[in-house]
Structures are given as C-alpha cells and as structure tokens.
Structure 1
Amino acid sequence: MTSAPDLHTTEIGDTGERVVFLHGLFGQGRNFTQVAKALQPELRSTLVDLPNHGRSAWTGSVDYVDVADAVATWLRAAYDGEPVHLVGHSMGGKVAMVLALRHPELIDRLVVVDISPAPSGGAGEFEHLLTSLTGLDLDGLERRSDADEQLAGSIPDERVRGFLLQNLRREEGRWRWQADLDLLLRELPTIAGFPGVDATFDHPVLWMGGERSDYIRPEHEARMRELFPTTYTVTVKGAGHWVHSEQPEAFVSALRYFLLAD
C-alpha cells in the first residue's frame, strides 16, 4: 500500500506554506474547503481523501500505520519531501499523529482536532450510523432525497444525514457509496483504537477540542504529552466533535495563529 498510494487530493491556494488536511470517519477532503479558502493567501492547502473514503482507493483493510505510511509516501512524492503543516480531525487526527511520530521529517507543525492518542468512545453511535447506511436499498432510489427520507427514522438529525449523504454518488445510472461502508463497519474496533508507536514528535502541536465533546479527556493528557512534548491545548467554546463545521471562525482563527506564529 505504501509503494503507490492512490489518494485523491484537492489543492486550494497557490501562495504561502502548505497545510495538509485529513478528515474523519465518513468524511472527505472537501469537508475543509471553506476553511482552506479562509486561510488564503497566507497558507495554501491540500485536502486529502483518506483510503476507503471519497474518491480515494478502497484497500480492503484498515490500519493506522498503513494509512499514515501511505500518506507519508504520497507527501514525499508530491512535495519532494519538503515539510508541511498537518491537520487531522477525529480518525484523521489519529492518522496525523501516527504519521508525525513515524515520519517527523515530513511535518513542521501538527494540529490534532478533537481526538486523543487513546481508544475512542462513540463506537456504538458509529455502528448505528453505518448499519443504517448499509441497510439502505440503493437500487430502489430514484433521487438523493429518497435516501434522506428513508434514513430520517433511524437518523433524525437532518445535519448528520446531510453530512453522511455526501458519500452517496450516482455513477452510470446507479447510486453507490463512495466510502467502503462494509469495511468500516467491520473494522470499527480498529478505527476506535490507537496503535502503539515507540517514538516522540517534538515539533509544536496544537491539540484542539470542542467544549461539548468528550473525545479529549483529562486522563488522555499524560499520554499526549509523552508522545508530543510541545503540545498546546485549545478548547473551542460552543463546539462539539465537528469543531471546524460548528465553529468555523474560531477554528480558522486558531489555525492561523498557530501555523503562522514565529
């Protein structure tokens, strides 16, 4: 997987230092489009679709070390090994942490958004969402709104349904999921975990959490600082787990301050 990673990416901006964004479970690189535009012209951005998501390849397995190594291989090839800033949210934050620990020469500054280097809670919620999506009869859909209507009973939050249905795409007259939902459901225990990595990353790290989220807890701090000794913490008021979409202005402000600081 690391020899020729088939990753779909989008570039936004053409001036300034480079920031690479890694999305969370069910996400796509384009989830950070507005954030990337707001960082211009001081920063240029690369939005990555992680394996088994968006327009990137399906791999048949889920492993944080493999994914981190694949992204690292892509970065070396795309930018000649020049260090970049790396931002990862949730599952993407775990990929980002593993990548920084295993390939520190590729990363200047690291931003970890609402996740910890520890097993995550919420697996039951994600299992419910995945089961709801995989149970949808795609052949019976005429339009995207049909899927939204069918999911309303099991997923009552309209915003959550809208986010999930971004993964539904029509190709050659048929609807299909961009994300490999069967694989993600099967590998939820791995996604919820965090691998053992015997390394440290001593560059600056911003650890950003949502005030109303419980993915970052006090008992995680010791491990975070053991792996990332130069960690700065920020809690975004009024935000839950999806900090960048719930409080975009505060998110962009924190990124800009941290990434552009001397």
Structure 2
Amino acid sequence: MHGLFGSKQNNRTISKALARDLNRPVYAVDLRNHGDSPHHKRHDYVAMAEDVEHFLVDKKLGPETTLLGHSMGAKAAMAVSLRSPSLVRDLVIVDNAPVSSILHSSFGTYIRAMRQIEELQLKKQSEADKILSEYEPNLGIRQFLLTNLTREEGSPYLKFRVPIKILGSALDEIGDFPFTLEKDRFEGRALFVRGTKSHYVPDEHIPTIGRFFPLFRLKDIDAGHWVISEKPIEFKEAVVEFLQNSE
C-alpha cells in the first residue's frame, strides 16, 4: 500500500522482486482516492481499512496475509491489523508509526501547487513541472507528484487523477491514528522499517509501537522517507529475511 499521492504503480518493481524471492503472490493496490480506485469524500484510516478488508475477503486471501505499507499505506495496514487481526498474519510497516501527528507542511504546499496547475489549464507536463518547481526544488519528488497528471478523454488540458479538494480537506485525518492503547493490540509479528534520515519514526515513538505491536522488530535503513525507492535492495533483503524467518 502506497503513500499519499502515490499509486500501485510506485510499487510495481518491489512487488515483482518480493514475489520472485518469496515465491508467493503479491498484490499492489490503489487506496481510495488514488490511482485507479474510486473517489470518495471520506478519506480516513477506518474507511481505508474497510476497503482493504473487503479486498482481502473478496480475493479469499485468508489469515496468511502479510500487509506491507509505506507512509499513509503503513497506517492503513496498521489499521487493518488492529480492526481485523484474523485477516492478517504479519505486517511490514515502512517509515510511519501508530501515532497522531500533524503532516509536514510540504503536503499542504503540494496541494496548493496542484490546484494552481489545474486552474491554469496547462497542456504540457513540462509547464506543470515549471509551476511545481516554484514549490518543490527536489526533481524526484516533483516527478513522483506528476505521475498523477493525466488528460481526460476529449480534453486538451492536464488534470490530476487524485481528487485534490478531497485530499486537501483530509490532511488532518491522514496525520491522525484513530486507535487507543487501552483496547487495541495486534499480537502478530511486525517489522517496522524506518529511514534514519527521516523524521517520521523518532526514538520516542518506539515504546508506543511496542504497546500496539508487542512482537515488533525495528530495522533502520540509511535513507529518507522514501525508503523503498532510495534503497530498494536493502529494503527487499530486510523484508525477505523477516518473512522467511518467521520463528
């Protein structure tokens, strides 16, 4: 499960590598309001968890399922495990923690930039990148955001396939984690992978992780928040080792 503004396409390469090395099927999904999934005005972790639970039941994936999620997708995976532990065997959580926090201001900045791009009715991706560069200097992040640009049939203008207004209104919910230590625990195994150059999982969150997920393991990788794309080999090896050594 991808993060905010992502899609299943972001995880195609790592999914193929994990399917090969683990010899098991891997499903990459689009969370609601992303990729090819439907748009809905409600965008929170309970709703996303319900969607994933429906997918697991519909595909008859059963209790041997591993959920792997990055950032927003990580919280969605944790939400499923706490709501419906019978559907999940173990977790791989990438650079996020079971805490409520305010999203980095950059996400609100991206929303403003994307709104401006749509309002200008641009026809070329290079024009959109020029606008976005005024808000985000990092070319890799701009290219990631621009993967959402599309052109609707019959229109010459570029438009984002993610619903900008809905996601802009849901930034507080995306930073939230609507579960309580008093009653919510997942007793299965969990691997928490964090980027050492990222601020999403500071040391002070580790005790909280342990209370929600008492059988967790922590793996540090020398990367920023985009752990999978920055260090794909190290990430894949960590996941394969965790899942092959299930004792």
TM interval, short-chain normalised: over 0.9
Q: Which residue of 2 aligns with 1:14?
A: none
Shift of 1:176: 2.1
Q: Which residue of 2 aligns with 1:254?
A: 238
Q: Which residue of 2 aligns with 1:23?
A: 2
Q: Residue 239 of structure 2 aligns to a residue in which SS?
A: helix
Shift of 1:192: 0.8
Conserved in 2, the CA contact under 8 Å of 1:86 and 1:96? yes
For the pair 1:114 / 2:98, whether they are aligned, the reply is: no
Q: Select which of 127, 132, 153 maps to 1:151.
A: 132
Percent sequence identity is 35
For the pair 1:74 / 2:55, whether they are aligned, the reply is: yes
Moved over 4 A (4+): none
Q: Which residue of 2 aligns with 1:170?
A: 151
Q: Which moved more, 1:117-126 or 1:222-231?
A: 117-126
Change (3 A) 1:121 1:213: farther
* CA distance in 1: counterparts of 2:203 and 2:40, whole angstroms: 35
Conserved in 2, the CA contact under 8 Å of 1:138 and 1:176? no
Q: Which residue of 1 aligns with 2:162?
A: 179
Where does the alignment leave 5 or more consecutive residues of structure 2 unmatched? Answer: none
Change (3 A) 1:82 1:228: closer
* CA distance in 1: counterparts of 2:110 and 2:121, whole angstroms: 20
Shift of 1:44: 2.1
Q: Residue 47 of structure 1 aligns to a residue in which SS?
A: coil
Q: Residue 48 of structure 1 aligns to a residue in which SS?
A: coil
* CA distance in 1: counterparts of 2:224 and 2:93, whole angstroms: 15
Q: Deviation digits for residues 82-118 of structure 1, max 9, x if unmatched?
A: 4311101111111100100111111111011000111
Change (3 A) 1:64 1:40: closer
Q: Which residue of 1 aligns with 2:221?
A: 236
> What RMSD, in angstroms, separates the aligned Cα atoms of the two structures?
1.5
* CA distance in 2: counterparts of 1:164 and 1:173, whole angstroms: 23
Residue type matched to 1:215 in 2? Y
Which has the larger helix fraction?
A: 2
Where does the alignment leave 5 or more consecutive residues of structure 1 unmatched? Answer: 1-21
Q: Which residue of 2 aligns with 1:90?
A: 71
- The TM-score, its normalising length taken from structure 2, stands at 0.92
Conserved in 1, the CA contact under 8 Å of 2:72 and 2:174? yes
Q: Residue 57 of structure 1 aligns to a residue in which SS?
A: coil
Which has the larger strand fraction?
A: 1
